[in-house]
Every structure is written in C-alpha cells, then in structure tokens.
Structure 1
Amino acid sequence: MTIKNVKAKGNLVRLLDMDPEFYVDLIYSTDDNFTGSKVYQSSECYIDKDTAIQLIDAKNKLKAMGYGVKIWDAYRPVSAQQRFWDLLPDNDYVAYPPDMATMTEFKNSHMNGQCVDVTLTNPDGSDIPMPSGFDDFSERAHLDYPGTTGKARENAETLRDVMVQCGFTPYKGEWWHFYNHNTTPVRYSDFEL
C-alpha cells in the first residue's frame, strides 16, 4: 500500500490519511468520557501503520457487509494512560501505566498505537445496537455476557469475527477492544494529541 501525504509521528500515522472512509469519534477528545473532561487536545486519530493496514482490511470487509466502522480510540499517550489509572486503578479495564525510565519490553498497546477501540455503524455513520456503550465498566462490556441478545449480540459477533479474520485479537472484557499481535511491539510514546 503506497499512500502519499500521510501525517506520521514515529510508527504512528493519521488514520484518515491512510483511508478517509472511517468515522472517527475519539471519545477522549471530548468531555463525554469516564474522566468527565477532555484528555486529548486533538480529535485526530493516530495508529501504528501496520495496525492501520489491518484495520483498513477489516473496514473493507465490513463495508461489503453493509456496515460503517467508527473509531473510539487508537493511539493513547502514556500520560493519558497514567491519568486513566489515577481515576480507575482496575487492571481489568485500565492497563497499569508503565515506568518509561526502566521499561525495556513493550506489548501491543494503545500506548504504541497497536490496538484499537472500534464499533460498527450504519453506512452513514449512525449508531446501531451494540452490547453497551464505550467504557462501560461492567459485565455488559463482555461479549459473552448472558444479557446481551438479539441484534446487539449479532453485531458484536460480526465485528469480532471480521476483526479476527483480519489478524486482530479481541479482549474478552471489552467487545470493542482489539490488539494487533501480528506486529512486533514498539516503544510506547507520549506524543501529544
């Protein structure tokens, strides 16, 4: 894939430069998130380049099935991760922030843009039934939650199945969260959004 005029920061690229067909609603660039305040200074979505390529493949498959794809979060600065942990120190929902001064091994993470929080939409970007809202810190966020039935379950299963076909690994505690374990983890960064 050769794309011209892509904004980049290290391993990160601006997703809409790679493919403008995504709907981007970075929740943390608004006050409407679990912190109650704006965390990111920009609503531009950055993501690891290899992860973006896999995500474009998934979006194309989902588009052919009649869906749109909305991004809620992708790259997250380390300082934002620390802020989240300070507010919700629960490793089931918020990853423990790293000590960058001593860290030598890295994982696929929001902090290097190698995972993504994503949902399905109608082709025009309007919401469709899903198991819960974003950052629902309850069992409703689990795809296997028995209370999730009907179209919401079907839509979440479709999202999961296509993301897995395209090389992503789902997180069992959040139906919207997917890791790109096909890419070698790179160092976390703290680029300001």
Structure 2
Amino acid sequence: MSRLSRLGAVVLAVLSCVALAAPASASERDRVPAGFVALHDIDPTIRYDIRYFTRHNFVGERIDGYLQPECILTREAATALRTAQRSLIGQGYTLKVYDCYRPQRAVDHFVRWAEDLDDDRMKAEFYPDVDKTRLFADGYIAEKSGHSRGSTFDVTLVRLPVRPQRPYRPGEPLVACYAPVGQRFPDNTVDMGTGYDCFDPLSHTDNPAITGAARHHRDLLRDTLVAAGFHNLAEEWWHYTLDDEPYPDTYFDFPVTHHG
C-alpha cells in the first residue's frame, strides 16, 4: 500500500470513530423509545385531563416537555391499566388520567418554579397552607420523579355517563383544593376529598379525616389498581406505579407528544 493510501485509510478510520462518538441528534433524543405506547392505543375508553399541558396546575403555565395532551406509558403499565378500567366500567365508573410519563425536563421546570419564591400565582388553589419555602423539605417537589420512568401515572374516577367539564379560565378566582366538592374547581370526577395536586395532608390516601363518599372512592380506586398490579404513593391518593416496572432506574427525557 502506498504512503498516500495508508494516510487515506487512517483518515477514514478517524472519521469513522468520530461519527460513532458523535452525540445523538435532537430528533433522536426526542424519539419515543421502544416499549412505550400511547394509552389510547391500548384502551381508548380511559379519559384524559392532562393538566401539565394546560395552565391549570400548581405552576400556572404549560410545563416544559408537554407538546400534546397525551398519556404515554410503558406497554406493561398501559396494559395493566386497561385491566383496571374493565373492572371499573362494570361498576359504573371510568378512569381519568391527569398525568402519565413525565419527561425530566418537566421535573426540572418544577424545580425552577419552586426556587422562585416570588411566583405564587396558584397558591390559593394548590398549596394554600404551605409556605413555598417548604415544598422541597416537605416532599412536594423533588429533582427526580417516578413518572419519568414511564410506569407511574396520576388518576381518578369519573361516574358514567361522563358529565362535561368546563375549561379552566386563566385568571379566574382560585378556590382551595381541599374546599368542599361543590366549591372547589368543578372537575367532573367523583369526590375524592381534595382536588388533584393538592399539597396538603388531606391528600394522604389514608388520612382519617376523609370519610363518607370520598373515602369509598379512594378505597375503590386503590383496591382496583392494586388488584391490577399497581401500588399507591401514600401521600397522594392519585399517584400509582406498576409493581414490576420495566425501567426502575431509568429517567427518560423525551417529550410528551402523539405516539405512533
């Protein structure tokens, strides 16, 4: 081989190594990984109210990474959730999800918001009795979320037939999330004792102050989901994770968008 040929071979080898080491493009990083599905492809009967795609959440604006009001989950979690839905439909209820897979960039958005102590525009509804300086210490905000692993979701119950729900109007007067069901935001769900994402001890699933219909609904939701292979986070009646989640140590960051 001539000297020029050998030089050319070396250059090609170097370029090949550079190409292999090059970081993934933005489109590759944002691609939905294999093993994740859109929930509506597994069970189109489950209702959606994806709050972080809207301004009706504790931050008061759309959260980073939510490009569509979509529920994405691992296939295993979505399939188990379909089992729970079939059981509940037979009892006159449907599930409604508020959040499913949550990208790490959304969690980072929560952290930035929590550190901005001057931004309390949604306090009156979502954390009326909690000082914002306590959100990290009290466990309401963290730098990592199980949602980012793809098998955790936030969910509630709606009575069949489903009643319409009026949209949230940004700037409307806010009512505490623990106010009586007829006074707080008119979600079309059954009474669970508090609204969704209520930063208050009343949101603890087994809080003894929750009685009557709200207690029945919390227990029905938990019993059904536990039977389908999920477990509840004790501090949040709405929060469930698949027992045998396929990615227990992986935190994903692809955006929430239409899948398939």
TM range (shorter): 0.7 to 0.9
Aligned to 2:252: 189
Higher helix share: 2
Which runs of no fewer than 5 residues in structure 2 stay unpaired?
Answer: 1-30, 115-134, 163-187
Asked if 1:17 is matched to 2:41, the reply is: yes
Task: Choose from 86, 108, 111 the match for 1:82.
Answer: 108
Query: What TM-score comes out, normalization by structure 1 length?
Result: 0.85
Separation (CA, whole Å) in 2 of partners of 1:160 and 1:27: 21
Which runs of no fewer than 5 residues in structure 1 stay unpaired?
Answer: 1-7, 99-108
Asked if 1:178 is matched to 2:210, the reply is: no
Higher strand share: 1
Separation (CA, whole Å) in 1 of partners of 2:46 and 2:141: 25
* Partner secondary structure for residue 153 of structure 1: helix
Aligned amino acid, residue 19 of structure 1:
D
8 Å CA contact 2:98–2:155 kept in 1: the answer is: yes
Separation (CA, whole Å) in 1 of partners of 2:247 and 2:86: 25
Asked if 1:111 is matched to 2:148, the reply is: yes
Separation (CA, whole Å) in 1 of partners of 2:199 and 2:161: 28
* Partner secondary structure for residue 116 of structure 1: strand
Asked if 1:95 is matched to 2:136, the reply is: no
Aligned to 1:103: none
Cα shift at 1:143: 1.7
* Percent of pairs with identical residues: 34
Aligned to 1:28: 52
Separation (CA, whole Å) in 2 of partners of 1:182 and 1:138: 29
Between the two proteins, the alignment pairs up a number of residues equal to 176
Cα shift at 1:78: 0.4
Equivalence map 1:103-182=2 (5 Å): 109-125=146-162, 126-182=188-244
* Partner secondary structure for residue 175 of structure 1: coil
Cα shift at 1:51: 0.3
8 Å CA contact 2:37–2:73 kept in 1: the answer is: yes
Separation (CA, whole Å) in 1 of partners of 2:141 and 2:231: 17
